[in-house]
A and B are shown apart, each in its own frame.
Chain A
């Protein structure tokens, strides 16, 4: 550990923190006024990078070309933000929060494929910033551009403060953040105000991305990586606070830099590799902040959630005839189909349990998770590691894995149930991203990005059909168990806590403890699904823990509909099959999927099964 090396890491960290702050500031600003968490903000950052890359190529690698490109890229991204607001979000401001989040996620998918189409799958390394050399500090050479970036953070913070404090627009934004309705009653057109806020927020994200082009290659994974970081910064800093976002970005950058700078330390004979602890540090900071200040360093307790006036419908158990039909279908089809069908059905069984467990906490318990893949993936990894590293028999590994996933759910859930609504969703996503990073980075234990291979089931299960029936039995039992629980006193308490926490507390019910238990239960069953999935594939990769996997689950549930029990199962089957088909036929399956989601959100806010039920209901009414 040396002072200069820490210093270098520090400056490096602060240079990244600037961009992270810009993204988070945009996210906060948009949320403050529109109450929408824009999942696509990381995508806008990514577009900023790609845009700057192309514009620099077009305008030339001169200082003028470089800076024109950066600013133009930010403005273009701003217009993309306007398009998102006008075309999608404006139509769903009154929809449930969940659908707004899902819509912005669909935008993520579309933008990813557009970027893939326009710029290709390869990382694009941008030019160095022309006219910037390096500066020598304490005998180490440091890029001067980094110093500029470090300065840009506070400058943007200052400019934003001025805009908000000194202009009419700023007064309107701050007023609308506190009381949108009153601003409307004073004659301000909200739609135009929202569009302008989206523009500014998107410009900030685009600028954050564009400024990084000399330091970071443009690539297609940036969208989700950046949004997860921005969520952590926002949760730590406090939603809606620019100063908080700045503080949090700096704090996290400093802590990380410190860890990397310390490097490897020998303490009492054990070797501690601090540079690998950066994620743990982020986690610890977030944990401490959330315990001490549940709404972030500078955040305030959100006003009482708006009364949506919508009432969650009653839960009805699936009719046994319907369940029997499904069972027969699942039992018989493999006998008729080929090997491909068996594999597809195995996937569907695993994802059905995954989706059902997500539905369990999302629907009846009312806790939206954007990181449910953490438990699926950790279950899969637990199974793989117990099998390969601990040398347990496959059957034991499969059955112990859910408990490992449950252990993580105990820890993560403890934090999560302290929050609600979007805060909760953002936190679940951050935990999932942390889990993913641990799996991805811990080469020596998890084989990092390669994943773990050679995890095959025991001999008696080696036949694909036999394994399928075993999976079907396990996942079927899991799903039926969850359904059963939903109709037990425990399940009723979850629904009661969702419907009216106030009333539940007044009846002496400790809602939070029940939610925590539900979180753990759902985590365990997702872990079981993950473990069964791992052995069916013979290998497991970090993508099973990824945000993509989490959102797949979310789409399955919402596709089928949160309001029904069979919805998630139908959604899982449909989604798995659809993705398979799309992936075979088209390069841009993500974009197609994104557009399908957007369509569903705009047309059927109750999901497919719910929408179908409503249609049938209306038809019956019309006939009667």
Chain B
């Protein structure tokens, strides 16, 4: 579904991604783990075309996308949920969803407001609420729902559990499992190992712009030294 090979990217002169390779198969939830500043968000942006990669290949649904504009990538069915959420604060919940709306894609679950409100019941009560007046958890739900309105076949979720209260994190995990049940692929970046273990099939660990580990969640759970080295304080 999504495959990244030897991706390099820079912020200004800072060499952030130093040859990242990873893969997410159809219907799979993959976690990209790492500490602050390890390069998780940059990897997401580079895949989405928001930060043009300097080197490397990105393939999605059988097409090379590393040179495409973000809107073309989105239209191929790759959804992006940014870490900072980037809700349109002056727009209501319904309007935020409207901006995300794209034509349905054959073979991919088609989302409507009604179905999304069923998935995120909190949003249903807030239809006319401006995005700027919502809590962090509600905004996180909205930013995911907004991306789903584009009927993606694969979603990049950048730190979905960050800054959320434990009970909201629980809901988020539930929602991601629901997406998987719909047949969507998900690549999520996380610092929270607990959360990742609750939702992901496989995991990569990124550290200082390079992939240091790739394997199943079970393998990761079994290797305490790995966790200690890359994820602990």
Q: Say yes or no: is B86 at the interface (Cβ < 8 Å to chain A).
A: yes
Q: Say yes or no: is A178 at the interface (Cβ < 8 Å to chain B).
A: yes
Q: Which residues B93-125 have CB closer than 8 A to chain A?
A: 95-96, 98-102
Residue of B nearest to A192 (CB): B71
Q: Which residues A438-474 have CB closer than 8 A to chain B?
A: none
Residue of A nearest to B149 (CB): A186
Q: Say yes or no: is B70 at the interface (Cβ < 8 Å to chain A).
A: yes
Check if B90 sits within 8 Å of A182, measured CB to CB: no
Which of B69, B70, B89, B147 has its CB near the most chain A CB atoms (within 10 A)?
B70
Q: Which B residues lie within 8 Å of A183 (CB)? A: 99
Q: Which A residues lie within 8 Å of B100 (CB)? A: 186-187
Chain B's nearest CB lies how many Å from the CB of A300?
Answer: 10
Q: Given A181-B50, A186-B147, A187-B102: A174 and B91 within 8 A (CB)?
A: yes
Which of B69, B91, B147, B149 is close to A175, meaning CB atoms less than 8 Å apart? B91
Check if B74 sits within 8 Å of A186, measured CB to CB: yes
Q: Given A181-B50, A186-B100: A171 and B91 within 8 A (CB)?
A: yes
A184 to B147, CA, bound (A): 12
Which of B71, B89, B146 is close to A184, meaning CB atoms less than 8 Å apart? B71
Check if B99 sits within 8 Å of A171, measured CB to CB: yes
Check if A189 sits within 8 Å of B71, measured CB to CB: yes
Check if B88 sits within 8 Å of A309, measured CB to CB: no
Residue of A nearest to B152 (CB): A187
Interface residues of A (CB under 8 A from B): 168, 171-172, 174-175, 178-179, 181-190, 307, 309
17 A/B residue pairs, CB under 8 Å, sorted by A: A174-B88, A174-B90, A175-B88, A178-B88, A182-B82, A182-B88, A184-B70, A184-B71, A185-B48, A185-B70, A185-B71, A185-B80, A185-B82, A186-B102, A186-B147, A189-B71, A309-B12
Chain B's nearest CB lies how many Å from the CB of A234?
Answer: 19
Check if B99 sits within 8 Å of A185, measured CB to CB: no
Residue of B nearest to A166 (CB): B95
Chain B's nearest CB lies how many Å from the CB of A499?
Answer: 14
Residue of B nearest to A193 (CB): B71
Q: Which A residues lie within 8 Å of B212 (CB)? A: none
Check if B70 sits within 8 Å of A181, measured CB to CB: yes
Q: Which B residues lie within 8 Å of A179 (CB)? A: 86, 88
Q: Say yes or no: is B39 at the interface (Cβ < 8 Å to chain A).
A: no
Check if B82 sits within 8 Å of A187, measured CB to CB: no
Residue of A nearest to B76 (CB): A187
Q: Which A residues lie within 8 Å of B98 (CB)? A: 168, 171
A168 to B91, CA, bound (A): 12
Given contacts A187-B150, A190-B71, A307-B12, 4 further A-B contacts (CB under 8 A): A171-B98, A171-B99, A178-B90, A187-B75
Interface string of B44-61 (1 = CB under 8 A from A): 000010100000000000
Q: Which B residues lie within 8 Å of A188 (CB)? A: 71, 99
CB contacts between A and B, total, < 8 Å: 60
A178 to B130, CA, bound (A): 13
Residue of A nearest to B101 (CB): A168
Q: Which B residues lie within 8 Å of A175 (CB)? A: 88, 91, 95-96, 99
Chain A's nearest CB lies how many Å from the CB of B37?
Answer: 18
Q: Which B residues lie within 8 Å of A187 (CB)? A: 71, 74-75, 100, 102, 150
Q: Which B residues lie within 8 Å of A185 (CB)? A: 48, 50, 70-71, 74, 80, 82
Chain B's nearest CB lies how many Å from the CB of A241?
Answer: 11
Interface string of B61-90 (1 = CB under 8 A from A): 000000001110011000010100010111
A187 to B96, CA, bound (A): 13
Residue of B nearest to A167 (CB): B98
Q: Which A residues lie within 8 Å of B75 (CB)? A: 187
A183 to B69, CA, bound (A): 12
Q: Which B residues lie within 8 Å of A182 (CB)? A: 82, 86, 88
Q: Which B residues lie within 8 Å of A184 (CB)? A: 69-71, 74
Residue of B nearest to A165 (CB): B95
Q: Which B residues lie within 8 Å of A174 (CB)? A: 88, 90-91, 95
A171 to B146, CA, bound (A): 13
Q: Which A residues lie within 8 Å of B82 (CB)? A: 182, 185
Q: Which 5 A-B pairs have the closest CB atoms?
A: A187-B74, A175-B88, A171-B95, A175-B99, A182-B86
A78 to B129, CA, bound (A): 34
A482 to B31, CA, bound (A): 59
Chain A's nearest CB lies how many Å from the CB of B74?
Answer: 3
Chain B's nearest CB lies how many Å from the CB of A503?
Answer: 15
Chain B's nearest CB lies how many Å from the CB of A500?
Answer: 13
Residue of B nearest to A307 (CB): B12
A184 to B12, CA, bound (A): 22
Chain B's nearest CB lies how many Å from the CB of A164?
Answer: 10
A183 to B75, CA, bound (A): 12
Q: Which A residues lie within 8 Å of B90 (CB)? A: 174, 178
Interface string of B119-158 (1 = CB under 8 A from A): 0000000000000000000000000001101100000000
Chain B's nearest CB lies how many Å from the CB of A299?
Answer: 14
Q: Which residues B21-35 have CB closer than 8 A to chain A?
A: none
Chain B's nearest CB lies how many Å from the CB of A464?
Answer: 55
Residue of B nearest to A168 (CB): B98
Q: Which B residues lie within 8 Å of A178 (CB)? A: 88-90
Residue of A nearest to B49 (CB): A185
Q: Which B residues lie within 8 Å of A190 (CB)? A: 71
Q: Which B residues lie within 8 Å of A309 (CB)? A: 12
A183 to B71, CA, bound (A): 8
A172 to B71, CA, bound (A): 13
A190 to B12, CA, bound (A): 24
Q: Which A residues lie within 8 Å of B150 (CB)? A: 186-187
Chain B's nearest CB lies how many Å from the CB of A179?
Answer: 6
A394 to B13, CA, bound (A): 57
Q: Which B residues lie within 8 Å of A168 (CB)? A: 98, 101
A428 to B221, CA, bound (A): 64
Which of A181, A186, A189 is close to B99, meaning CB atoms less than 8 Å apart? A186
A242 to B165, CA, bound (A): 39
A188 to B88, CA, bound (A): 14
Chain B's nearest CB lies how many Å from the CB of A295?
Answer: 16
A150 to B99, CA, bound (A): 35
Q: Which residues B150-183 have CB closer than 8 A to chain A?
A: 150
Which of A171, A187, A190 has its CB near the most chain B CB atoms (within 10 A)?
A187
